Structure 1
Amino acid sequence: MSAEYATFGLAPAMRAGGVLAGGDYQVHREFVDFIVNGRPLLFQLSDLDAVSPLASDIPPAIFTTHVRRLLLEAEAPLLDGRYVIYGCPECEGLECGAVTAVIERTRDSAGGSGAGAESGDDADVSGGGDDYVWRDFAWQTSDRADLELNGYHGIGPFRFRGGEYRAELGRLLDGAAPGAGRRVLLIGARVALNAKLAAALRTIGIGAEIAADATGVPAEELRTYGAVAFAREVPARTRDGVRASFEGAGVDVAYVDGLAPIVPLLVAQIEYALDRSPLAQRRLTRLSVAGDSVVTEVTSTCRVRLTVYRLDRLYRTRVHEVLDEVLEPGEHRVALPGRARHVVARTPDSVLVSSASE
């Protein structure tokens, strides 16, 4: 097998959770994605809602096992030397479907399988040899993959230089795993709203605590938060005090100012604030409300859902799902119903929020 060299990297990624139209929930997951030739591999698989095995919410021992499997230092979990590259974000069952591939090591770039080579050999590979190859990608739902029926024939094979490959995955074994800052501190006096918001966040896998301010909170506890959400009635003095507490503890968090007392909308704002993936590697890159339409832009083919939220004169929440389609890369304009509104756009990996003025 011959293949041109591809670059290999890792980057934080997110499977966007949230409270969906109709009251359904979608679990929030943070994971490490594979960056192949500068682009997330997941994006090359079209419209796929999935996460890599390198997720932040699995036990450390299991996380380490997944890394060592990718390094070929642990036995393949599937038949025929196949490894899970992406799986179901809601569970780990193969019956839900998974993207799998054969991973092997080769000793020369022209061919010649070297799967029997010692995984611990750290020879310099800058000139070729000692490569890792990912090949025969397939969608798999049972013990054996059917390449003819379910193979990703346009994906791979990818040949990675061993030194680069091991160095990237080795950082995860050295403590660079994702997951810090998945908790949110909710600041506000409206106990009922914050209680509902905290419950919704916890349901989708995000820790949440409620407080009037951050006075006296130990620095080690502040470091566990990734975002602070302020209710609209929180005064400027309290906001400044909270910010000072986090700055004094040397904690860099995202601050969220709630747009409206609508729980699904607030969840979407917090989801966006917690997104640590590089901007250049996000699929959903633009959302803006202009008059009676909304403009959104995506960088690769994916499912996009646009949901409109507003409060009526009796402060009841009104929800309209105006789009749920697989869109091609580029800019898309969608007509909006009714009056002033807040719009939430979702793809499998990201969330954006935009508002029109009253």
Structure 2
Amino acid sequence: MAAEYATFGLAPATRAGGVHADGDFQVHRDFMDFVVDGRPLLFRLSDLDAVSPLASDVPPAIFTAQVRCLLLEADAPLPGGRYVIYGCPECADLACGAVTAVILRDGDDFVWRDFAWQTAEHADLELNAYPGIGPYRFSGAEYRAALAGLLDGSAHPARRVLLIGARVALLARLAAALRTIGIGADITQDARDVPADELRTYDAVAFGRAVTGEQRASVDRAFADAGVDVAHVDGLAPIVPVLVAQIEHALARGPAEGRRLTRLTASAAGAEVEVTSSCRVRLTAYRLDRLHRTHVREVFDGLLEPGAHRVALEAGAGKGEAFVVARTPGSVLVTAVTRGVPGRG
């Protein structure tokens, strides 16, 4: 085989969940992504909302079986020696579509080749191959070490967030939305009443806008006494989809420099978004009027190339309190709409 050597690794990744303006939702998924030559393989597939088989929320026995498949210690699940590299994040059904590839040994090396989009038992390479993706030849020792490291028995628990605020009805709706997309959420008024062992199960704490500095300090002391460092989320607005997006961002796994969506600013003149690789981006604007009613508008949904992009907002976007949520398949950012120029405050 003529494929040159590529480096192989794994890195934590997140498929950000969310609640959309139309009431639809997508599930939060944490998974391990494949890193080829120092770059997440998923980033080479520009408009793909998918996760690898190495997801944290699958049962341990199935997770172990997936790892052993990739190590070629079990038969290929699809004809022709094909394995699922990325699948549907909602149901993992092949009928929804999956990226598959042939995985084989060549001496001590492992080779991934013939990448394709597959929706049935057999892949059609003439119609659905991925040109320019692979073949990749990985050193056997490096490949086995990366995957075998996942078999130490340690599992990633489901993400949980503690909600603290004065508006109990809003917090209840927020908790329900988070649970719908796969994030555990609990509500309390005083973290001092929560046992230390339970505090250690939270990954983030979210504060409503009415929480006082004294209350925040009390919560911080409770987590510090429990010996846990959690992400803090300051709620921007009493709008459930905006709060969900803020929490999703706080729960994102992996280093910030490894995310596609890296910057978002907005003013009445427009929003400016920056991405590191070609990907689909959706921008949604939310506005509270003087009667605290929420107005929602989808302002952009399309493929963006790497770099910074300006997107116009609707007239009146700067009136009252307004916010913009930007989403890619793997990340989310939220910003308040200011009265300056995007990127300059």
Q: TM-score range by the shorter chain?
A: over 0.9
Q: Within 2, Cα distance between the matches of 1:180 and 1:333?
A: 38
1:95 is paired with a residue of what secondary structure?
Answer: helix
Cross-structure match for 1:20 = 20
CA offset at residue 222 of structure 1? 1.5
Identity of aligned residues (%): 71
CA offset at residue 291 of structure 1? 4.4
Cross-structure match for 1:141 = 119
Q: Within 1, Cα distance between the matches of 2:120 and 2:145?
A: 32
Question: Does 2:326 match 1:349?
Answer: no
Cross-structure match for 2:292 = 315
1:190-201 pair list within 5 angstroms? 190-201=167-178
Q: Within 1, Cα distance between the matches of 2:207 and 2:153?
A: 32
Q: Within 1, Cα distance between the matches of 2:170 and 2:262?
A: 30
1:178-257 pair list within 5 angstroms? 179-180=156-157, 182-257=159-234
- Counting matched residue pairs gives 335
The residue type paired with residue 350 of structure 1 is S
The residue type paired with residue 315 of structure 1 is H
The residue type paired with residue 79 of structure 1 is P
CA deviations over 1:10-51 (Å, ceiling 9, x no partner): 111111111112111111111110011111100111210100
The residue type paired with residue 324 of structure 2 is V
Cross-structure match for 1:162 = 140
Residues 181 and 223 in structure 1, CA contact (< 8 A), matched pair in contact too = no
2:65 is paired with a residue of what secondary structure?
Answer: helix
Q: Within 2, Cα distance between the matches of 1:176 and 1:134?
A: 27
Cross-structure match for 1:7 = 7
CA offset at residue 181 of structure 1? 5.7
Length-normalised TM-score, structure 2? 0.94
CA deviations over 1:82-127 (Å, ceiling 9, x no partner): 11000001102111110001111111xxxxxxxxxxxxxxxxxxxx
CA offset at residue 180 of structure 1? 3.5
Cross-structure match for 1:127 = none
Cross-structure match for 1:305 = 282
Length-normalised TM-score, structure 1? 0.91
Q: Within 1, Cα distance between the matches of 2:158 and 2:88?
A: 23
CA offset at residue 251 of structure 1? 1.3
Cross-structure match for 1:96 = 96
Q: Within 2, Cα distance between the matches of 1:354 and 1:181?
A: 26
Residues 139 and 145 in structure 1, CA contact (< 8 A), matched pair in contact too = yes
1:76-155 pair list within 5 angstroms? 76-107=76-107, 130-155=108-133
The residue type paired with residue 19 of structure 2 is V
1:170 is paired with a residue of what secondary structure?
Answer: helix
Question: Does 2:304 match 1:327?
Answer: yes
Cross-structure match for 1:72 = 72
Q: Within 2, Cα distance between the matches of 1:75 and 1:297?
A: 42
Residues 8 and 36 in structure 1, CA contact (< 8 A), matched pair in contact too = yes
CA gap of 1:300–1:5, structure 2 versus 1, over 3 A, is: same
CA deviations over 1:306-337 (Å, ceiling 9, x no partner): 11111111111111111011111111001112
Backbone CA RMSD of aligned residues: 1.3
CA deviations over 1:246-297 (Å, ceiling 9, x no partner): 1222212100000010000000000000002211211111101144111101
Residues 283 and 350 in structure 1, CA contact (< 8 A), matched pair in contact too = yes
The residue type paired with residue 150 of structure 1 is N
Q: Within 1, Cα distance between the matches of 2:335 and 2:92?
A: 34
The residue type paired with residue 336 of structure 2 is S
| Structure 1 portions without partners, runs of 5+ | 108-129
Q: Within 1, Cα distance between the matches of 2:67 and 2:229?
A: 28
